Chains A and B, each alone.
Chain A
Amino acid sequence: MRLTPDQSGLIRRAEKVTFTFDGASVAGHAGESLAVALLRAGHLHLRDAPEDGAPRGAFCCMGLCQECVVRIGGQVVESCRSVVASGLAVTSLKEQQ
C-alpha cells in the first residue's frame, strides 16, 4: 500500500526539443528550466570553481548561489533561471570542455 501515490504518469509536458551543451545534443521540454533539463540528461557538472577548479552544479535552484551558471550567446546566465528552447547553444564554464 502507498499513502503517497506515484503521480508521475499523470503529468503532461510540452514537446521535446533539442539544444546543445558543450556541443552535445540534449533533449528537454520546451519552456522548462535549463538546469532541470541538464540534470535529467545527466549533465550535473556545469562549471569548475574558479579558485580550485573543483566540479560544481546546480545547488540552490532559486537564482542565489550562482553555482549553475552557464554561457549562452556570450552571456553568463543562471541555468536555473533560463529556459529550454529549440536550438539553444549552451556552453559550460568548465576549464576543459
Chain B
Amino acid sequence: MTEMCDIAVIGAGPAGANAALVASRHGLTVTLLDEQPKPGGQVWRAKSAAILDAPSTPESVAGGQLRQHLQNSAVTHLGDSRVWQIEQSADGWVLHLLRHGQVPSLRARALVIATGAREFVQPVPGWTTPGVLGLAGATALFKQELALPGKRTVVSGTGPLVFFVAAEIRRLGGEVAAVITPNSRGDWLRALPAMARRPDLLMRGARWVADLMLAGVPVHWRHAVSEVEGNNNVKTVRFRKLGADWSPKAEARSVEADSLCLGNGLIPAVETAQLAGLALEHRPALGGWVPKRGADGETAVPGLFLCGDGAGIRGAASAEIDGQLAGLGAAQHLGAETAAERARLRPSYTRAARFGMAMTALSIPRKGLAKLTRDDTIVCRCESLTYGAIAAEIAGGAASTNAVKSGLRAGMGACGGKFCQSTVARMIAQAEGGNEADVPPPTARPPLRPVPVAALAGDFDYSDLPIPKPAPL
C-alpha cells in the first residue's frame, strides 16, 4: 500500500509537529510520522492510557496544546510509525515504514526531517548494570507513566536536565540519594546572562535547586559518576571530583542507591538525514555532527528540509519556531507564498536559539570526562566490546568509525551504534592526534530501526513463489 501526500514530516516533537501544522495551513496535505503513539516528541511525551488523572506540568500543558492543535488541523498523524528506509524518486520521496507489524510505504513531494536527539552517556565501569537509566530516558518514565526509576536514585549528568530529573523524582514521591553534576556553580553563573532572557525557566530551575538544598539532598558540583557496583542491580554508585577539563581526580566516594540516571548531554539524531543524502559538518556548539542546512530548514537537496534538535541541539522553545520555518520553507518549495511569514518568525527563532545554545554549552562534556572510561569498560553495549578491544582495533589501523564498525562490529549491533559511536569517534580522534572534526560518524545504512524479518517477508504461501521456467536442456 502506498499513500501519497504533499509533505511528509518525520518526527512529531515540537519541531516536526509545528512544521506539519504550518504547512497544512497553507492547504498542503501533510502526513506526520512518529514512532510514539501520540505526538509530542521526547520533551512533550504524552501520558499513557494507564494514567487516568494527574497534576499538570509545563511539559504536559505544552504537549496537550500541541496535540489539540494537531487534532483540530488537517494534518494526518501516523503514530507507531518507524521510518526504516528513505528513497528519492523522480517526483519526491518514498518512505518505508514499519507500523503495527506491516511495512507500508508513503510517497511525498517534499520531506521534512525532525528526528530530534538522543543522549550521550560517557561509558563508566558498571553502566550496563540493570537499574542504570539514561538521564533523558528517565524523563520518558516521568512524562508517560509518572513512574520512578527506583526507590532511591542517584541523578547524575550535565546541564539543566540533571536538576529537572531530580525534581521530577521528588515530585513523584521518590528519594534522590544525590545529585552529581560535572558543571560547577561558576559554569551556571556564567550562563546567567543568556538565561535572563527566559526568567520563567530561570526561576523554575532555581526552585529545583533550592528544594534539593532544603531537603538536604547532597549536590556534588564538578563531580562525575565513576563506577556502578552491583551485579544484577545497582547497589553502590561511586563518584569523583573533576578538574577544570573534567578529568577525574582524587579518591572516589560512594553513595548507596538502587538506581542511577546518567547522561552527558544530547546528540543530534542524524541517521535519517544522512540516509536522505545530506552531508554532515562538525559543530561542537550544537552537540557534534549536524547535517548541513541553509535558511528556514532548506538543504542542498531540493525538497528536503530539516529542523529541530536533529539540526543541532537548541532546545524545545527554539524547535517550535524552527519547525514552523522549515514547514513554511517546504510549503514555499511546493508553490505557496510564505516569505513574509518566515521573515516575521526569524527574530524570535534567533532569540530562542541563543537561550537553547547556552543550555547546550552547559551540557556538552569536556574532554577530560572521557577518562572515566577504563580499559575494561564496555563501550559498545550491543556487542559487549570494551574500550581496550576498540583501542586495539584503532591502534591496528582502523582510522574511521566505518573501519571500527566493519572490523569489530562496534556499531553494527541491535542499536545501530546509537550509544557507542560518539565514544568511538573520540577514541579515534585522540589516537590520530585529537581532532574530532576529522572523524565523522559511520555511513547511515537501512534499516534505521530494527525491522522484524516476518514484517518484510509478510504472509505467503508456497504457491505464491514464482517458479522460473526450467533452463532448456
Contacts and interface: CB of A to CB of B under 8 A. Distances in A.
B48 interface: yes
B141 A13 contact: no
A60 B450 CA distance: 15
Q: Is the interface of A mostly helix, strand, loop or mixed?
A: loop
B140 A4 contact: no
A46 B48 CA distance: 22
B171 A58 contact: no
- Chief secondary structure at chain B's binding surface: loop
Given A4-B171, A45-B233, A46-B130, A61 B52 contact: no
Contacts of A67: 128, 381
Contacts of A14: 49-52
Contact of A55 (B118, B173, B231, B381): B231
Q: B interface, how many residues as a size bin? A: 35 or more
Given A45-B232, A51-B383, A11 B452 contact: no
Contact of A3 (B145, B207, B385): B207
A80 interface: yes
Interface string B44-68: 0000111111110000000000000
Contacts of A54: 128, 384
B144 interface: yes
Contact of B144 (A4, A12, A13, A33): A33
A9 B134 CA distance: 26
Contacts of A76: 452
Contact of B130 (A1, A5, A45): A45
B252 to A, nearest CB: 22
B418 interface: yes
Contacts of B173: 6-9
A66 B147 CA distance: 20
Contacts, number: 157
A29 interface: yes
B232 A55 contact: yes
Interface in B384-403: 384-385
A57 B131 contact: yes
A50 B210 CA distance: 44
A9 B173 CA distance: 8
A60 B419 contact: yes
Contact of B48 (A10, A12, A32, A51): A32
Interface residues on A, range: 35 or more
Contacts of A81: 35
A96 interface: no
A59 B35 contact: no
Nearest to B119: A60
Nearest to B231: A55
B98 to A, nearest CB: 11
B54 A10 contact: yes
A36 B145 contact: yes
A44 B130 CA distance: 6
Contacts of A63: 35, 449
B137 interface: yes
Contacts of A13: 50-52
A62 B52 contact: no
Contacts of B42: 62
16 contacts: A3-B210, A3-B214, A7-B54, A12-B54, A13-B50, A30-B49, A32-B145, A39-B141, A40-B147, A46-B130, A54-B384, A59-B381, A62-B42, A64-B415, A66-B415, A84-B50
For the complex of A and B, 8 pairs with smallest distance between CB atoms: A57-B130, A8-B173, A31-B49, A32-B50, A61-B137, A3-B211, A66-B414, A44-B130
